Amino acid sequence: METQKKKKHLGLKIVGGIFLAIFAFMLIINAIPPKKNVANNPFIVADGELPMIAAHRGGSDNNPENTMLAFREAVNTIGVDIIESDLYLTADGYLVYNHDSYIDETCNINGDISLDEVEELCDDKNKRHYIKDMTLAELEQYNFGYYFEDENGERIYKDETDLAGKGLQIATVDKLFAEFYESHPDLLFIVEIKNSGELGYEACRILYETLEAYPEYKDQIVVGTFHDEIETELKEKYPELLRGAPTGTAAKFVLTTALGVNLFDNSDFACLQIPTSYDLGVTLYLAKPMIIQSAHRRNVAVQYWTINDPDEMRELIELGCDCIMTDNPKLLKEVLAEYETSTDAE
């Protein structure tokens, strides 16, 4: 009986020792400063500063998405910090801004039909008009403000004919950089290369060569992709460009942070671009201080998408994130003004 008690006591001591060792190990690895993912990161805000505004698709709630009109209004009128959009390669080698690989839902390429009819048409992938199959000159014929509705539900650009003058044509990377390079040298950019394979490789090359004509912007752009081969291409051939975290890499970063072992994460991205929550059968909430703290220890910016609700904006502002991507930068500007006013009053 006495022997069994001693064995039980010894077992408890061993288990307790293991738990203490694990606890001490976790304390140590979380006290060790991790390596910086990048040396300089213009997408991080200083402690106590409000988050940056990123105009998602140029601010698609305020103006026709991904048009020069939207970009001009976002930068010149609203005063956003970042332009965010996706890039596709045309048949003749131009990089243009568009959210989808086809243009049917944002312009009048199908004539005078309703958006509902367009969406029904696009259910058949063979009836879509893909950017990769069209030249820039062909794309520029169409009105990319055709289906845009203002706050009153009016399609105010439906009958516009001066597409170039109004900035309602599809926009190219070169045109956007040229527009703001002299007047807004501190403007930042978030882009995602949507093409995969050989088209994606060519898109990387053209983006890089375009940036060489605008050298200040080369350090002020973060490039993302969903395609592993394009991520590898960016990493190996254009290592000086800042990169966003691919989905799998972002998930790994969040997981290692939650488990307290982020010190062993070997990622090298500059921006963690995540939603506030993710559904994995159960809802995983990502708007957490520990994620931001873990990222900042590595000089990584945390950017949340796509936030159009004012209460959610306030939550993220108070959380201390670096950037909020929104379709409605005008609304976010107004919400941020509440905090600027309260700071001034103090």
List pLDDT tens digits, range 266-319: 899 999 999 999 886 778 899 999 999 999 999 999 999 999 999 999 999 999
Is 225:193 a contact under the CB 8 Å cutoff? yes
Cβ atoms of 204 and 233 within 8 Å: the answer is: yes
- Residue 220 above 60 pLDDT? yes
Query: Is pLDDT above 80 for 9?
Result: no
Q: How many CA atoms are closer than 13 Å to the CA of 146, on its beta-carbon side?
A: 21
| Tally of CB atoms within 10 A around 46 | 6
Q: What is the pLDDT of residue 150?
A: 95
What is the mean predicted confidence (pLDDT) over 235-256? 94
Q: Are 67 and 169 in contact (CB under 8 A)?
A: yes
Longest alpha-carbon distance in the chain = 96
Q: Given a cut of 70, is residue 132 above it in pLDDT?
A: yes
Q: What is the pLDDT of residues 317-342, one digit of tens each?
A: 999 999 999 999 999 999 999 998 66
Q: Which CATH class is domain 244-346?
A: alpha beta
**pLDDT at residue 28 greater than cutoff 50:** no
Q: Is the pLDDT of residue 4 over 90?
A: no
Per-residue confidence at 22, pLDDT binned at 50, 70, 90? very low
pLDDT over 90 for what percent of the chain?
A: 81
DSSP β-bridge partners for residue 324: 53, 304
Q: pLDDT tens across 54-105, in order?
A: 999 999 999 999 999 999 999 999 999 999 999 999 999 999 999 999 999 9
